[in-house]
Amino acid sequence: MADAATKLKDLTPSAVHSAYDLIKPYVHRTPLLTCKTIDKIASTPQSPEALVGTPFEGHTPAQPKFRFFFKCENYQRIGAFKARGAFHGLIRLIEELGEEEVKKRGVITHSSGNHAQALALAASTLNVPAYIVMPEISTPSKVSGTRSHGAEVIFSGSTSTEREAVVADVQAKTGALMIPPYDDFNIICGQGTTGLELEGQYIETVREKPHLSIHQGSEPKTLDAVITPVGGGGLNAGVTTYFSDKPTRVFGAEPSFEGADDCRRGLEAGERITTVKSLTIADGLRTPVGVLNWMVISDKNKAGGVFAVTEEQIKAAMRLVLERMKVVVEPSAVVGLAVCLFNEEFRRLVESEAKDGWDMGIVFSGGNTTVEKIGMFFS
């Protein structure tokens, strides 16, 4: 814990800038998109029927005003933001131990798919052997994507405990060096570069097209708010770190199915929840939030809170993005949009705190799904 506290002090916006300088040659500057139709839908009150069975049943539905700016990490290398953290983690490891040592021992991680593919790509690019522990229930396309970069895939059970046990066994045999999927200083800084790019692109976009902002007529400075998915919490902690010296508020979004909203529940209880066993369709969010990430996300001076949505709400948000934006996303990617569309607690917060509304960044975290999976969701 003392080590985590020390690292927490070093998690600063300047650390994110330093990470960006290192990884820029290896990652894409992903697009920032807008969609007037989705802005309009989100800025319309939900029907009273939608609130039946919730604490807001019988209340007048909220009418927040949104202008969304979608950061499309589904167009990142390997189809997800995870490439940022993987490259940063591996580059820093080589700096620390030397290229010869890292190449001799190789690297290892555990992941349901996106970090798996990301580390496999980074290792292949920098000529380092990679061992990737993946749950047996991982999406086949993510498994094949990981193998396509030359990594050795070893299967495990689906819980983080089961994954970590297999990692320990492989490390004992190979000496491979661990690059964690989310609970790590360098991973967090790498993922935080998503927020750095997002802010810069927002300012460029609104300067060129002022009508896209809810604050027309004023000089664009920064976003009012950003929302990202929360699984292990690396992306949210990184983006929160980047915006920690700015007025932008950063929120998290989780699926509620089978207790996958561990971060939200932990914030409510006042302590981190250490285990999650959920088969939510948002398969990238089935892990408990990491220790260092929790320290960032639970800091009310930095983070705005975490909100949860149902499986049906995730599907509805995914359908909107597919049909209205023509953008392919995986379920994990749209939980933030689903919160803005359907979570009445969050919508009331925006309505009460922002009379004119918010320019809001939404991170589409990845697009690693298949036509077959999409068909199953909407059959």
User: Is-catalytic flag, 104?
Assistant: no
User: Is-catalytic flag, 14?
Assistant: no
Q: Position of tokens 């080589």?
A: 94
Instruction: Please identify which of the residues 71, 82, 142, 302 carries the catalytic annotation.
Output: 82
**Residues 91, 254: Cα–Cα separation, whole Å:** 30
- Count of CA atoms in the C-beta half-sphere (13 A) of 271: 2
- The burial of 154, by beta-carbon neighbours within 10 Å (0-12 exposed, 13-18 middle, 19 or more buried), is given as middle
Instruction: Please identify which of the residues 43, 71, 111, 112 carries the catalytic annotation.
Output: 112
Closest C-alpha to 348, from 56, 73, 133, 122: 56
Helices (H), the chain: 2-10, 13-23, 36-42, 82-97, 99-105, 114-125, 140-148, 160-174, 185-208, 234-242, 262-269, 291-297, 311-320, 335-342, 344-353, 371-377
Strand partners, 293: none
* Inter-CA distances, 109 with 170, 171, 200, 293, Å: 10, 10, 31, 18
Q: Could you list the active site residues? A: 82, 112
